[in-house]
Amino acid sequence: MVLDAPRTPLRPAELPEPSPGAGQVLIAVDACGVCRTDLHVVDGELAKPKLPLVSGHQIVGRVVLSAGARYAEGDRVGVPWLGWTCGECRYCRSGRENLCDRARFTGYDLDGGYAEYAVADERFAFAVPEGYPDLQASPLLCAGLIGHRALRMAGDAERLGLYGFGAAAHIVCQVALHEGRRVFAFVRAGDEEAREFALELGAEWAGDSLAAPPEELDAAIVFAPAGELVPAALGVTAKGSTVVCAGIHMTDIPSFPYELLWGERVLRSVANLTRADGESFLELAPQVPVRTEVEPYALEKANEALDRLRAGRVRGAAVLVIGTTHTPEEERG
Ligand SMILES: [Zn+2]
Ligand SMILES: [Zn+2]
């Protein structure tokens, strides 16, 4: 499914099978998660995708041809957003490859996984934890990884607010509870389904995004791309709290009184992921254990999945089912 230009639907296309260069693997894609970042690319909110582009950066598949040494044919691998880094810049050399100036991202600078085949640099592909079927593993690769990095940036906060209860929050909620934290979920006004979903997953309170929770919070993570949530989150956190903006794009943040930041509150963003983030999260997920809820879509229904995500109607994570190896049980989740 190819994006020719921003703000146009993806187009079904027959492309030549990609061939792996040195150090790359050719992957038969079994599942590819649909991330809000894909939506920002399709909607033209991220300015510089390669075009035409195959979207998708939560790829789970099997290696069918290896031009490297790390994986063999038949290995199951996962491909995340971070597709390549230079290894030489000051960010790469200081453990911050997520900030690499020359980084290339899957489904943005590099063709991604809304396709039967994809190639990936083997150094940036992960082994997928056993015990997760392909569909359920797929959202771990971005919603899970970025959510995990955002949660680490929230420090050891006990009372954690999650703004926007989509794919990332539904995973972070489970990890946070596993770590003994208390979760407060903020959803769009009137979104009763999202509210109930958060409560089912163990949030102790769930309410409208501009409502006051029953007590102050020690940290908040803003997943929703809505700038007005930033002052809202600062306004319900205690002194010394951190508010983390976890999305790649957000509408403008309205001006707000300094008082909301005063008291040593910290406001920060989280950008991309490092391979170390990926390895630590994929080790942690089965221990929690994180259970992902997925809505499966056939590859040719990618536009429908994006529309549902844009409308805020996906419960958990939307995932494109691409290979032919899935059981009905898997697809039901
Ligand atoms: Zn670099
Ligand atoms: Zn993503």
Domain assignments of the chain as residue spans, ordered by start: 2-139+292-332, 145-269
Structure tokens at 210: 């501009």
Residue in 215, 127, 129, 209 with CA at minimum distance from that of residue 162: 209
Contact (Cβ atoms closer than 8 angstroms) between residue 308 and residue 166 = no
> What does the pLDDT read at residue 324?
64
Q: For ligand 1, an ion, list residues with CB under 5 A.
A: 85-86, 89, 92, 100
**What's the pLDDT band for 25 if we cut at 50, 70, 90?**
very high
Give dist(CA 114, CA 59) in Å, integer. Answer: 8
User: Cα(57) to centroid of ligand 2, in Å?
Assistant: 6
User: Cα(248) to centroid of ligand 2, in Å?
Assistant: 9
Tell me the CA distances in angstroms from 201 to 91, 156, 179, 269, 286, one per residue in order: 37, 20, 14, 25, 16
Residue in 9, 23, 32, 225 with CA at minimum distance from that of residue 111: 32
Element (H, E) at 55: none
The 8-class DSSP code of residue 11 comes to B
Nearest ligand to the CA of 85 is 1
Q: What is the mean pLDDT of residues 20-49?
A: 96
Nearest ligand to the CA of 112 is 2
29 CB-side CA count, 13 A: 31
User: Cα(262) to centroid of ligand 2, in Å?
Assistant: 32
Is the domain spanning 145-269 CATH 3.40.50.720? The answer is yes
Share of the chain above pLDDT 90, in %: 96
Q: What is the mean pLDDT of residues 253-263?
A: 98
Instruction: Answer whether residue 328 shows pLDDT above 50.
Output: no
Q: pLDDT of 108-137, one tens digit each? A: 999 999 999 999 999 999 999 999 999 999
Nearest ligand to the CA of 113 is 2
Whole-model pTM?
0.95
User: Cα(74) to centroid of ligand 1, in Å?
Assistant: 31
**What's the pLDDT band for 241 if we cut at 50, 70, 90?**
very high
User: What b/e sequence results for 150-178 when a residue is b if at least 16 CB atoms lie within 10 Å of its CB, and e otherwise?
Assistant: bbebbeebebbbbbbbbbbbbbbbbbbbe
User: Cα(46) to centroid of ligand 1, in Å?
Assistant: 21
Instruction: Answer whether residue 142 shows pLDDT above 50.
Output: yes
Q: pLDDT of 93-110, one tens digit each? A: 999 999 999 999 999 999
Give dist(CA 177, CA 174) in Å, integer. Answer: 5
Q: What is the mean pLDDT of residues 222-241?
A: 98
Taking the domain 2-139+292-332, which CATH number applies? 3.90.180.10
Tell me the CA distances in angstroms from 214 to 16, 185, 207, 210, one per residue in order: 56, 12, 10, 13
Instruction: Answer whether residue 333 shows pLDDT above 90.
Output: no
Instruction: Answer whether residue 329 shows pLDDT above 90.
Output: no
> What does the pLDDT read at residue 31?
98
The radius of gyration computed from the CA coordinates of the chain, to the nearest angstrom, equals 19
Q: What is the mean pLDDT of residues 75-80?
A: 98
